[in-house]
């Protein structure tokens, strides 16, 4: 993570209104001579875009998209922009307007960790896999009992205990894996959060060079 500092050169704002409609018209049902009129449905939405051109301290001009209208900006404002970046992409995490002394969070630590694939986010497939593995274990144990230990099938209690034990032994490994992946992911998010706090704390005060965490 690092801080990019600069001055706003220009702001290009656009708002587009999108209108959608449907329905209307009429028809006469076979069983009635009274026409049926279809209602008209109209919906609209507005897309707001704001391209901000910033001149960095090194003289390079760069455009950034700050579409959130809650972020108050005008030409001449001095900004500090906290970005997370690797060799392939860059994402803005925080912007501080020194003229208004207000900061705006643009991405959470969890969003940054997920976007840059800093660790694997555990999914429901682990649980599905655990259940499937347990089911396979039950099937194999039942097959073994049916082929090699038919006398055990006469005792329902023993058979049930064997099946339950097989299911548990099949499920435990993947649930342990799920827990390990979850703990690693949460630790990664915590580290990103600490880095964000360190950098955004520096962003509130002017510094002469970018800060790397």
Whole-number pLDDT of residue 109: 85
Strands across the sheet containing 78-85:
61-65, 40-56, 2-23, 78-85, 90-97, 102-105
Exposed, middle or buried by CB within 10 Å (0-12, 13-18, 19+), for 160?
exposed
Of the candidates 60, 20, 67, 24, which has an alpha carbon nearest to the alpha carbon of residue 44? 20
194: which 2 tokens? 């600490």
Per-residue pLDDT tens listing for the chain (213 residues): 888 899 999 999 888 877 877 766 666 666 676 776 777 778 887 788 889 999 999 999 999 988 887 888 999 999 999 888 888 888 888 899 999 988 888 888 888 888 887 776 666 666 676 667 667 766 776 666 666 555 555 555 656 666 666 666 666 776 677 777 778 888 888 888 888 887 777 655 544 333 343
Beta bridge partners of 32: none
- DSSP annotation of 120 reads P
DSSP state letter for 75? T
Bin 56: left if φ > 0, else alpha if -120 < ψ < 50, else beta: beta
């Amino acid at each position: 993570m690092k801080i990019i500092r600069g001055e706003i050169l220009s702001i290009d704002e656009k708002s587009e209104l999108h209108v959608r409609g449907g329905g209307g018209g009429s028809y006469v049902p076979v069983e009635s001579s009274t026409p049926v009129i279809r209602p008209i449905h109209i919906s609209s939405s507005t897309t707001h875009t704001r391209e901000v051109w910033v001149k960095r301290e090194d003289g390079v001009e760069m455009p950034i998209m700050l579409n959130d209208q809650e972020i108050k900006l005008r030409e001449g404002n001095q900004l500090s922009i906290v970005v997370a970046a690797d060799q392939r992409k860059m994402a803005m995490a925080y912007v501080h307007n020194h003229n208004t002394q207000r900061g705006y969070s643009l991405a959470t630590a969890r969003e940054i960790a997920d976007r840059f694939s800093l660790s694997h986010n555990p999914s429901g497939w682990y649980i599905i896999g655990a259940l499937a593995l347990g089911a396979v274990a039950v099937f194999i144990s039942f097959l073994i009992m049916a082929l090699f230990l038919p006398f055990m099938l006469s005792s329902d209690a023993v058979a049930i205990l064997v099946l339950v034990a097989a299911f548990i032994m099949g499920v435990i490994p993947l649930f342990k894996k799920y827990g390990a992946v979850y703990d690693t992911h949460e630790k990664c998010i915590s580290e990103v959060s600490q880095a964000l706090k360190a950098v955004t704390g520096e962003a509130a005060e002017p510094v002469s060079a970018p800060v790397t965490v």
